[in-house]
Amino acid sequence: MAHEFITLGGGCFWCTEAVYEQVDGVTAVESGYSNGHLPNPSYEQVCGGDTGHNEVVRVSFDNARIALRDVLEIFFHIHDPTTLNRQGNDVGTQYRSGIYFNDAEQERVAQTVLAEANAANKGRVVTEIKALANYSRAEDYHQHYFARNPGQGYCAFVVAPKVEKFRRTFAARSIRTQ
């Protein structure tokens, strides 16, 4: 299989999407909601915290160019996997750290990378690993949000620093050269 996708929850999907759109080998990033109980929830419903959904990004990638392990290592560097149901000022179960796999091999790789991250974080990682369930695409205005709105307050003060941290940390191996 040359192309696959993994679904990741690392806080606000605008931040996670903005980083993965910079990664060489990533072919598409889509913001959405997963692993809740309400079919096709709206952003407002998810933000209310009652649907059980997580704000996620579906990261499609060419595994001939980037391995799932690398995708997941980036994930653990761009958010805080040790805070339960929060990333910075974003608080609620919809901002939980999660890896949502599609098959047994993805689950195996995710468990391996999670164990390494947990060791590096002295056993404090709270990232859940579950089979992908009840995924739906977020509204159009959420797609490519940072790229379309870099001057918006949240983008300028929260998303941009995460993108810059990623660029500094992974510059040699993961940023698109185009």
Residue 137: strand pairing partners: 32
CA nearest to 158, candidates 7, 31, 6, 13: 13
Residue 117 CA to residue 14 CA, distance in Å, equals 23
Residue 12 CA to residue 49 CA, distance in Å, equals 13
CA nearest to 30, candidates 131, 140, 118, 105: 140
- Residues identified as active-site: 12
SS3 131: strand
Residue 55 CA to residue 169 CA, distance in Å, equals 24
Contact 87, 10 (CB under 8 A): yes
